[in-house]
Amino acid sequence: MKIGILTLSLHTNYGGILQAYALKTVLEKMGHDVWLIDTKLNQVSFPRKIWRLTKETIAYLKGDVPMINAKKLRDRAYLNYTKPFIDQNIPKITKTFTSIEDLKKVTEKYNFEAFVVGSDQIWNAKYYKHIEAAFFSFLKGKEVIKIAYAPSFGADVWKYNEEQTRNCKELIKEFDAVSVREDVGIDFCKSHLDAQATMVLDPTMLLRTEDYLKLLPDSSTRKNKGLFLYVLDVSKEKKELIDAVAEKKNLVPYQLDIIDGYESCPLEWRTNAKVEDWIRSFHDAEFVITDSFHGTVFSIIFNKPFYVLLNYNRGAVRFKSILNIFNLSDRIITSKEELTKEKLEKKIDWEAVNKTLTVNQKHSMSFLKENLIDQ
């Protein structure tokens, strides 16, 4: 079956790239012909362009960010460190659709028999402005299979406005099956969209450790041992926590090679590391500290002891949900005072974690197999 996957645009986010890679790989192993649908619908409005330019100008005048270099920084990270991985490992990507009207022609252009929306925060209106498109508004009334695999709303409160809620409630009626990544998503679907959903794993957790190790041979990063840091939003409090853990565990912190002097820019733009280097950093680590959802997920995949610094800016509910599945909620730390001897010495029961992973993998794979059958 020819399947089109709709997810967030692939750029410099390691987790976003790897969830797309994992889902297409799993579906290909099932025998499907899988493509990613590339959309650039979130065009910046003129007022927002003025606002952003003003903000960047102020930052430039204050000396916070070299304004002219900010976009170059982002594009450099993409071209040098993530695009090569995408080109090599996710080669089947459609032409870029820039409007809903153009997107309506996707079935005719590519003859897709089924569409999958997910994973990542594709159902978060903050990240996907044309939220109705994430519920296949461009396929309304068309006789094709439509399923949702592990999309995330990215919040613990309902964020859609009345019009978005009304439209998405109608659109989701045409879905053949709905699954979500977090337990709060089940409640949202039931309470606001009048739809039944089941919870499944993030696609990255459907692949085995060995599947990721196969991607590493060309990685140039030297092998590190110690405390791997993958912290997206740095703060004074987080730095103090990291220093305290490093000292108490007698581990040397290390992180991906990062360009200094651009602290106002997202971490993803400032890294000098390939996707393969990011994966290897988890493989080589003795311990991990992260405030990233996928940083948490890959710590679990590679069975690395870890602490999570809750990232409220990016949706704390995402962390709580995945940690609850594996009975690992105690891996969250919020202050130095929590670093008691008991907490520092407590080990993760990886045998129990891996058994839970296997059970959830079977459930998640069954969801895909049962709902992507040739009709």
pLDDT score for 121: 96
- Of the candidates 336, 331, 292, 332, which has an alpha carbon nearest to the alpha carbon of residue 313? 292
pLDDT tens digits, one per residue of 104-113: 999 889 999 9
* Distance in angstroms (rounded) separating the CA atoms of residues 317 and 340: 25
Is residue 46's pLDDT more than 50?
A: no
* Distance in angstroms (rounded) separating the CA atoms of residues 142 and 166: 20
Please give the residue that has the higher pLDDT: either 29 or 310.
29
Mean pLDDT for the stretch of residues 235-256: 92
Is residue 41's pLDDT more than 90?
A: no
Give the CATH number for residue 222. Answer: 3.40.50.2000
Q: State the chain's mean pLDDT as an integer.
A: 90
pLDDT score for 16: 97
pLDDT tens digits, one per residue of 171-187: 999 999 999 999 999 99
Together in a domain, 230 and 261: yes
pTM: predicted TM-score of the whole model, two decimal places: 0.91
Together in a domain, 63 and 93: yes
* Distance in angstroms (rounded) separating the CA atoms of residues 113 and 371: 12
Is residue 320's pLDDT more than 50?
A: yes
Mean pLDDT for the stretch of residues 261-289: 84
The total number of structural domains in the chain stands at: 2
Is residue 70's pLDDT more than 90?
A: no
* Distance in angstroms (rounded) separating the CA atoms of residues 5 and 37: 6
Mean pLDDT for the stretch of residues 102-126: 96
Together in a domain, 241 and 314: yes
Separation in Å, CA 177 to CA 64, 147, 191: 47, 5, 17
Together in a domain, 76 and 41: yes
pLDDT score for 243: 93
What domain range is 288 assigned to?
210-356
Is residue 138's pLDDT more than 80?
A: yes
Is residue 42's pLDDT more than 90?
A: no
Together in a domain, 190 and 245: no
pLDDT band at 45 (very low <50, low <70, confident <90, very high): very low
Together in a domain, 134 and 253: no
pLDDT band at 336 (very low <50, low <70, confident <90, very high): confident
pLDDT band at 55 (very low <50, low <70, confident <90, very high): low
Together in a domain, 90 and 126: yes
Share of the chain above pLDDT 70, in %: 87
- The answer to whether the beta carbons of residues 309 and 238 sit under 8 Å apart is yes
Together in a domain, 89 and 18: yes
pLDDT score for 65: 52
pLDDT score for 59: 57
Together in a domain, 165 and 256: no
Mean pLDDT for the stretch of residues 263-270: 69
- Of the candidates 273, 293, 276, which has an alpha carbon nearest to the alpha carbon of residue 214? 276
Mean pLDDT for the stretch of residues 65-77: 70
Amino acid at residue number 338: E
Together in a domain, 71 and 199: yes
pLDDT tens digits, one per residue of 143-167: 999 999 999 999 999 999 999 999 9
Is residue 340's pLDDT more than 80?
A: yes
Together in a domain, 11 and 117: yes
* Distance in angstroms (rounded) separating the CA atoms of residues 67 and 52: 11
Mean pLDDT for the stretch of residues 269-296: 92
- Of the candidates 76, 73, 96, 94, which has an alpha carbon nearest to the alpha carbon of residue 84? 76
pLDDT score for 267: 73
Mean pLDDT for the stretch of residues 202-216: 97
pLDDT score for 260: 64
* Distance in angstroms (rounded) separating the CA atoms of residues 98 and 205: 31
User: Which tokens go with 314?
Assistant: 């990016």
- Of the candidates 294, 301, 288, which has an alpha carbon nearest to the alpha carbon of residue 228? 288
* Distance in angstroms (rounded) separating the CA atoms of residues 50 and 320: 37
Together in a domain, 12 and 124: yes
Give the CATH number for residue 70. Answer: 3.40.50.11190
pLDDT score for 314: 78
Is residue 27's pLDDT more than 90?
A: yes
* Distance in angstroms (rounded) separating the CA atoms of residues 151 and 149: 6
* Distance in angstroms (rounded) separating the CA atoms of residues 203 and 170: 27
